[in-house]
Chain A
C-alpha cells in the first residue's frame, strides 16, 4: 500500500506509513503532552495536592476572570461559604467585591524536580498563601483539596506505573517469546501451554484477589511496586505470543542459517540477528500494552484495591467518584475520567498506527 521509494530506509517507510494514520499522529502529540505533565506535574500544579482544606470541601470549579474594568488582569472572586437554611447543604457564593489576582510564575508549595528543590509554579494566587485554598480551577474534593493539582500528580503516578509494568512484562515477554520461538520443541510447548493457561483465567478477579492480599500496613512505595508487579506478571503473554510467531518465521530464513554456519551461537543469533528484525513489532505490541496496564491500575484503584490514599493516582481519584448521588451534586469529581480516557485512547491509537506501519512492505 505504501509507495516504495527507492533508497528509503525501512524506518523512513515506517515513519511515513505511521504519519498517514492521522489518529495515531495526533495521539502522539497527546501522549507527548501527557508525559510533559508527568515531568512538570508539580510545576503545573498550583496547590499542594495532599494538603486538605477543612473550610473548603467540594468547592465547585471556579472561573478565572481575565479582565478587570477593561484591562487584562486575571483574577478569581473570593469565595463566601454558607449553609442553605432549608437543605443544610454547604454552598459557596463568589464575592465579586474581593478579587484575588492570579499570577504567573507564583510561589507555592515546595517540591523536587530533577533533583532540585523549587517552589515556583506556573500559576498561583498572589497576596494570599496558597494553603488557604483560593483557586479551584476544577473544584475541590470532599477534603477541600484542589482537584486540578491532584489530577496532574495522578497522571504522573498512573502513567509511570503503566511504563514500569510494561518494562517488566516486556522483559518477561522478550525472554519467553524468543526462547519459545527459537528452540521450539518441548520448551516451546511448555511456554505456550503456560501462556494458554494464563490467558484462560479472567484477569480482573485474579488481579483483585492478588491486590487485595497486599497488607494495608505496607508503605505506598511497596504497594506501588507490588501492584506494578501483579499487573506485569499477568500481562506479558501477548508480547510473548506475538514475538514467538515472528521469531519462528524468521528462524528459517537463509541469513540465520548463514549466521549458524559462520559459527554464531544461539545467544548471538537471538540477540544480534533475530530480535532486531522484530523491533518494529516489539514496539507496536509494547505500545498497545501500555494502555492496558494503565487501565488495570486505574480499575484496581477505582475499586479501592490497588493504590490507596494517600497515594494519588487516577484510580484513587476515580474511587472518590463511585457514588452516583455524590456525582449528581458534584459532577466535577468526574474530571479524572478525562485524562484517563485520553491516555488510554491515545496510546491505543498510536499502537494501532505502529502495528499497521510495523511491516512497511506488507
Chain B
C-alpha cells in the first residue's frame, strides 16, 4: 500500500507545483504589456472625461500596491486568487471571476463532449481495424487518422463552417435552437445543446480519436499474437467474441492513460474551435481580453483553464493507478 499512497502524494505535489508555475506565468502575462494597470485605467478615465491629477495617480498606484516590488505584488495577487478574487475586468467593468464563471461550463462541456465522442468513435474503429488488418478499410482509417492528427483544429473548423454556411445554410454559432434559447433548463434543452455541440466536438476530438485508434489498434494487434488467442481460435471461438472477450480489456488502458496528454490538447483546441465557430466558451472572451489588453481577465482565464486541466489530469492519473496495478508498482 505504501507505493500507492506514495504515488498519489507525488502526483498531488506535482500538481500543486504545476499550478504554482501556471500562476506565476499568468501573473507575468499581466505584467508584460507596457504601462501598468493604473496607466490604462487612467487612460480610460481620460477618455471618458474624468481626468485624474498626478496626485490621484500616485494614490491609485499605492492603493493597488504598484509601488511595491514585484514578488510582493505577486503574493498579494495570489492571495486574492486563493480567496476567489481574480481581479476586475476593465473592459467589461465586472469581476473577472463572474465573467469566467458564466462561460467556463460551456468550455468544459465542449472539451468533455469531445473526449467522450473520441472514445465512442475510437473503440469500434480500432477493433475493426485490428480485426481486419491490412484491408482497404484498415488503410482508409489509417490515412484518415494520419490526416486527423495533422490538420490543425482551426483549419478544420474554418473548412466545416464554410462548407456548412455555403452549401447547407447551417449556422454553428448558436448553441441552442430558437425555441430553447430563453427556456429554463430541461432535458430537452440539454439534449438540444449536446446536438448543437456535436459538430464542434467532432472537430475538436478528431485528433484525439485518431491517436486513440492508433494506440488501441497497436495494443490489440500485440495481444492478438499471444498464444492464448491461438488456443481460443483453435477451440473454435468466433473472431469477434475472441477480440471482445480478453484482448480488448487489456488494450483498453490507453483510454485512461492518454487523458493526461489529451486533456490539455482538448482544452487548448476548444479555445480555437470556439473562436472560429463563435461558441460562447471562454475562447472568444480570451481573445477579446487580449485584444483590449484586459490582462486580469486574460490571465484569469489562462489560470482557471490550466488549473482545471491539471486537476483533470490528476484525476485521470489516480484513476489509472486504481485501474492498472503496473502503474502503481512502477511509481
Contact = CB atoms under 8 A, between A and B. Distances in A.
Given A202-B264, A208-B287, A328 B166 contact: yes
Contact of A202 (B26, B33, B34, B271): B271
Interface string B303-321: 0011001100100000000
Interface stretch (B14-22, B73-81, B113-121): B14-22
Given A201-B22, A213-B29, A324-B165, A193 B290 contact: no
Nearest to B149: A348
B29 A210 contact: yes
Contact of B14 (A196, A208, A324, A331): A196
Contacts, number: 120
Interface in B253-283: 260-261, 264-265, 267-269, 271-272, 275-276
From B21, B22, B154, B261, name the one whose CB has the most chain A CB atoms within 10 angstroms.
Answer: B154
Contacts of B5: none
Interface residues of B, number: 51
Contacts of A200: 18, 260, 264, 306, 309-310, 313
B152 interface: yes
B181 interface: no
B287 A193 contact: no
A199 interface: yes
A291 interface: yes
A299 B264 contact: no
B149 A303 contact: no
Given A208-B287, A334-B162, A203 B268 contact: yes
B151 interface: yes
A199 B261 contact: yes
Contact of B150 (A193, A196, A345): A345
Nearest to A213: B32
A295 B152 contact: yes
Interface size class of A (residues with CB under 8 A): 35 or more
Binding site of B, secondary structure by majority: helix, strand, loop or mixed? helix
B21 A197 contact: yes
Given A299-B272, A331-B166, A205 B150 contact: no
A258 to B, nearest CB: 30
A205 B149 contact: no
10 contacts: A200-B260, A200-B306, A202-B267, A202-B309, A203-B268, A208-B298, A213-B32, A299-B152, A345-B147, A349-B150
Interface of B: 14, 17-18, 21-22, 25-26, 29, 32-34, 143, 146-147, 149-152, 154-155, 158-159, 161-162, 165-166, 260-261, 264-265, 267-269, 271-272, 275-276, 286-287, 290-291, 293, 298-299, 301-302, 305-306, 309-310, 313
